[in-house]
Each structure stands twice: as C-alpha cells, then as structure tokens.
Amino acid sequence: MFRIPSLNVVKISFPRPVSQGSLRDRDIHAGQHHVPLARMPVVGRRGKTS
C-alpha cells in the first residue's frame, strides 16, 4: 500500500499468482481486486469512518 498525502490518494497493488495475459490468467484487467477493497473501512481526517 502506498500513500501519497499531497494527492490524497492511496494506491494498493496486489501480487499476481500468474503473469498477466498468460493462458492461466483468469482476470486480465484485475477487475476482481475491487471486492476486498470495497469491504475496507475508510477513516477520514477527523477519525470518522465512512
């Protein structure tokens, strides 16, 4: 997880079990990785969870 405070952004990278685009890759665009992120609580600057 990389935090970039000047941009108010967080970048999260997941390791891939196989090379992107290989015959065994079932998620070429990594579209399924949003599911774990959607369940994460987001805490604002004032400590409130949204």
Task: Give pTM, 2 decimals.
Answer: 0.34
Dist. CA 2–CA 10, nearest whole Å: 6
Residue 24 token pair: 């065994």
CB 33 within 8 A of CB 26: no
DSSP code of residue 26: S
- What does the pLDDT read at residue 16? 77
Check: CB of residue 38 under 8 Å from CB of residue 50: no
Task: For tokens 């990594």, name the residue.
Answer: 30
- Helix, strand, or coil here: 12? coil
User: For position 48, what pLDDT does the model report?
Assistant: 63
Q: Residue ranges of the chain with pLDDT lower than 50?
A: none
Residue identified by tokens 């065994």 is 24
